Structure 1
Amino acid sequence: MFPIIDLFAGPGGLNEGFSSVKNDDGDYAFKTLASLEMDSFACQTLRLRATYRELVRTGSDLEPYFAYISGEKTWPETLRGDFKTAYTAAKQHVYRVELGEENRPEVDRHIALKLGPESQRGHWALIGGPPCQAYSLAGRSRRTGDETFASDHKHFLYREYLHILSKFRPTIFVMENVKGLLSSKNGDKSMFQTILADLTRLSSGARYEIRSLVVDADPDELEPSDFIIRSEEYGVPQKRHRVILLGIRSDVAHMIPRQVLTKADGAVTVRAALRGMPRLRAETSNRKPKIDQDWKAVQAKALQDVRAVEVTAKPDSAKNGSIAVAAYEAWVRESELALPVQNNPRAHMVSDLARYRVMAELADRIGKSPKYTDLPQSLHPEHRNIGKAGTPFTDRFRVQVWDSPATTVVSHISKDGHYYIHPDPSQARSFTVREAARLQSFPDNYFFEGPRTQQFHQVGNAVPPLLSKQIGELVAGMLQKLKD
């Protein structure tokens, strides 16, 4: 097995994909030596998932794990026997630490201990994605006019990744970040070009050939856009576009032919992703008979108006990928679970439930998510600037339509569900944690620790595991060529 070190690990989406890869002999291709992450709840999730993998790889009984994530057993009742042994082993590689200059000596010692003496390391891979808030379009928008933005340390956390590249010289690395990195600037400098330049000036003298995973071209001929991976083109039911760099150490790059990911035969849609999920209704967060009665009347009138809308031809649905859907379902389904876990809808204001119901029905009629301006005025949000010229966020309520991959699931889903309205009008609610996890391609047996807000946050911050698995398969094949 090839060792991997996972930086800025989050809840483990990138690691999950790599850890599932098997070689031609049916053995696992990778072994995680260390996952480094600063968030305490994400670390709990990482430890639990590592425990599950340890149980699977040792052929141990999985019943305690499923009993725990289903809520049938408490943690003290679960932490016994083989499960306790697996959990003890899992804890050894999940390391809670904030990556930064002040913690470099501590982090270096930890990684050196895990990798062992340099002469005995062999080929290994570094994976991870430095935090992206400083590069994301939404993050930059929220901080317009903020004089401290240019000096935000989050701009430069990629240097911790580069420091570890320089000090430990992995054979291959995979670095992930948001698409906004390509247009992000610090002062008058492009952050993307700055990162590429820094990769050519590692203090150790190590050099890496930077390749695209989607465009087969000489590194010198690649454009910045050639590093964008569109997840929906690779069997993930979500339009998640990310910049991913594949780096191969220059002394071995000539031994590894260029390879790119194989596109799916079509889309995995929201309908395919949610197939088999129970139909649920949300509770209300301000349940008063008078309010209920008023909003029921408003909703009924709005539905009348919506049903009177003349339906033109719906936009063409995404081409369904039969092979991609089958691969997705085989990846996410778990036969040991009678019901999906972490699938309770959150409560909503009665007014929002009315909007969700009407917007979902309108979306079903026109084949796309409407803006709030498409609603009857009675359902417009009660904001002071609503209806004025230049009103921002006219799409602040967004229905995820059935016959297309979802829009990007982001960490803001932890704040509210307005951008993630269920397409079924009769359910009139936002997505659950499990439904969001399905759109991110997490297996149904993947459990997120912490309060529900933190569970949503972890899901939104992750790399889709099914995409990561495909990247891991390419990396495993490259490392195997060097080994052979």
Structure 2
Amino acid sequence: MTQRHFTKLTPAVVNAKHKRILEGHAPRTLDLFAGCGGLSLGFDAAGFRTIGAVEFDTDAARSHAVNFMSDQPHELFEAHAVAKDITKIEPADLLKKLGIAGKVEQQVDVIVGGPPCQAFARVGRAKLREVADHPEAFLKDPRGNLYLRYLHYVNELKPLAILMENVPDVLNYGGHNVAEETCEILTAMGYRCRYTLLNSVFYGVPQMRERMFLIAVAAEIADEIDFPEPTHWIEMPKGYEGTRQVALQTVKQDLFEADPFFANPPVADKTKCKPAVTAEDALGDLPKITLHLEGKLKKGARRFDTVTPYVRDVDALNDYAKLMRSWPGFENDEGIKDHVIRWLPRDYAIFARMNPGDQYPEAHKHAVALFEERITALRKKTGKPLGPKSKEFQDLWDATVPPYDATKFPNKWRKMESFAPARTLMAHLGKDGYSHIHYDSAQARTVSVREAARLMSFPDGFVLTGSMNPAFKQIGNAVPALLAKAVATQIYKLLTDERTVPQRRAEEAHSV
């Protein structure tokens, strides 16, 4: 590394920012790869203040601005709301566009975000270190450019703390443990770092969603970095532990070669934690949707221009539902505009027959059985044999049975259990919702946009811009707000501790 391009945190920068926080000012957060704002939502709830974001997707960028920058003058609001390409905008230029004046390295206290996982292929230590020597190296390697840009922003803005979030596979991506390699770079920049795997279900989110979280804090401030203790408990389904072990294969945990940066995931204590929040806890108070079963739902884009009033009084709600309606700054006592679903007329009858936990192979069997009933009824009605080669037979088959091979797409469909948290929501929600079929057979549908948001612990007052499909995508890409808040709370404690590391060490030496 060359000192020409790589600069460490300086005591002057750290002390100035830390002093400001200790005086009672909220730590200022910049959200990179922000999406619609799951991390921003959690950090603001923990006492931080989001001052800006970088997001490439047009709808997600506007959603972020609507929810976090609505108090800005129109011109500045539009500057926040426009999509931004992190590969083309420099940190100093970004701050200027957002109306943030002053020395660049003094304006941001915390950087959060998760570069898209596609950027991690074959990055490796050499490439990570190259960004320190050559800030424009990201232009030469499109496979890793987004990740390197994140580090470039850290190098330029000198935050006191960093949070990186991503899929567990970054611990074993192309044979590399990207989190470990990132910690090496951040340590050289003057940070103390730890990373682990956290599952959102253990933090009050009604969804089993496993992610890697990396926390880095200026070494002058933090002696140790801990991750939040779980507040909820559930016995995880088979498969989740196996997935975790695959991700951890590159983590050095043996006696002679321990990874100094890896922290074992916190373990939930059944005797001390609350039961996990279930799908019914999360969705049960929302209005039922049955218009599609009455033939009153039409094909086409769904806009969020009609309020669906709540039907259950606040006093009758469980704690989770109350929180979703009363989240500070996002209160909602009227109703929801994005309680809309997809038009899937072929599949409603299949959804109704599926059992909790059924996946596509079971759904396909239900569809075939349904077809047999319908073809039998049609034969009786017409008096015709209607064999497999007849047009009527084929038309009815196509109108009843999904075309996917039941042996190749086992996870394409899944009916949620009312008594358990949902499985992981994916960005693929933007294309279809078969992975999350509502547990209520009487409604026979996939989840609505607002229900998906509830499963991600986004409060009902949080606004999603665009139409239905972009909104689903925004939710599927997001970080669950309650998990973000739990991690943010840990970082907030570190930043607001008045005893710096040197002070603590002096106290310890004096006490000996």
State the TM-score, normalizing by the size of structure 2. 0.64
Match of residue 484 from structure 2: 468
**Correspondence 1:408 to 2:455:** no
Amino acid in structure 2 at the alignment position of 1:261 = E
Farther off after superposition, 275-284 or 451-460 = 275-284
Contact 1:284/1:347 (CA < 8 Å) preserved in 2? no
Q: Which residue, 126, 132, 143 being the options, matches 2:117?
A: 132
Match of residue 313 from structure 1: none
Q: Which residue, 22, 29, 40 being the options, matches 1:4?
A: 29
Cα offset for 1:250?
Answer: 2.3
Q: 1:245 to 1:205 in 2, by over 3 A?
A: closer
Contact 1:236/1:328 (CA < 8 Å) preserved in 2? no
Q: Where in structure 1 are there 5+ consecutive unaligned residues?
A: 22-28, 55-84, 137-150, 213-226, 288-324
Question: Residues 225-278 of structure 1, C-alpha deviation per residue, up to 9 Å, x if partnerless?
Answer: xx1110001100001111110111223322x56453343222000010012111
Q: Which residue, 36, 45, 62 being the options, matches 1:44?
A: 62
Cα offset for 1:472?
Answer: 1.7
Match of residue 83 from structure 2: 96
Contact 1:353/1:429 (CA < 8 Å) preserved in 2? yes
User: Partner of 2:275: helix, strand, or coil?
Assistant: coil
Cα offset for 1:209?
Answer: 1.9
Aligned length: 361
Farther off after superposition, 472-481 or 169-178 = 472-481
Farther off after superposition, 175-184 or 427-436 = 175-184
Cα offset for 1:431?
Answer: 0.6
Question: Residues 29-85 of structure 1, C-alpha deviation per residue, up to 9 Å, x if partnerless?
Answer: 322222111111111111211245x4xxxxxxxxxxxxxxxxxxxxxxxxxxxxxx6
Match of residue 166 from structure 2: 177
Q: 1:330 to 1:477 in 2, by over 3 A?
A: farther
**Correspondence 1:378 to 2:351:** no
Match of residue 322 from structure 1: none
Match of residue 353 from structure 1: 348
Q: 1:108 to 1:352 in 2, by over 3 A?
A: same
**Correspondence 1:481 to 2:477:** no
Match of residue 116 from structure 1: 102
Give me the identity figure in percent.
29
Amino acid in structure 2 at the alignment position of 1:114 = I
Q: 1:115 to 1:243 in 2, by over 3 A?
A: farther
In structure 2, distance between residues paired with 1:333 and 1:116: 38
Q: 1:94 to 1:476 in 2, by over 3 A?
A: farther
User: Partner of 1:253: helix, strand, or coil?
Assistant: coil
Q: 1:154 to 1:97 in 2, by over 3 A?
A: farther
Mapping for residues 137-148 of structure 1, pairs under 5 Å: none
User: Partner of 2:63: helix, strand, or coil?
Assistant: helix
After superposition, the CA RMSD in angstroms is 3.2
Match of residue 331 from structure 1: 323
Farther off after superposition, 229-238 or 151-160 = 151-160
Amino acid in structure 2 at the alignment position of 1:126 = I
Cα offset for 1:351?
Answer: 2.4
Amino acid in structure 1 at the alignment position of 2:102 = G
Q: Which residue, 408, 423, 432 being the options, matches 2:448?
A: 432
Question: Residues 345-365 of structure 1, C-alpha deviation per residue, up to 9 Å, x if partnerless?
Answer: 2211x3211111111xx22xx
Mapping for residues 144-183 of structure 1, pairs under 5 Å: 153=142, 155-183=144-172
Cα offset for 1:328?
Answer: 2.8
Mapping for residues 70-81 of structure 1, pairs under 5 Å: none
Q: Which residue, 217, 240, 265 being the options, matches 1:248?
A: 217
User: Partner of 1:355: helix, strand, or coil?
Assistant: helix
Q: Where in structure 2 are there 5+ consecutive unaligned residues?
A: 1-25, 122-139, 233-273, 297-316, 372-399, 501-512
Cα offset for 1:125?
Answer: 0.9
Contact 1:399/1:423 (CA < 8 Å) preserved in 2? yes
In structure 2, distance between residues paired with 1:483 and 1:42: 39
User: Partner of 1:157: helix, strand, or coil?
Assistant: helix
Amino acid in structure 1 at the alignment position of 2:340 = N
In structure 2, distance between residues paired with 1:118 and 1:436: 38
Cα offset for 1:413?
Answer: 1.0
Cα offset for 1:109?
Answer: 2.6
Match of residue 229 from structure 2: 261
Q: Which residue, 206, 211, 217 being the options, matches 2:189?
A: 206
Cα offset for 1:326?
Answer: 5.5
In structure 2, distance between residues paired with 1:409 and 1:110: 31
Cα offset for 1:279?
Answer: 1.1
State the TM-score, normalizing by the size of structure 1. 0.67
User: Partner of 2:216: helix, strand, or coil?
Assistant: strand
Cα offset for 1:379?
Answer: 4.9
Amino acid in structure 2 at the alignment position of 1:234 = Y
Amino acid in structure 1 at the alignment position of 2:439 = P
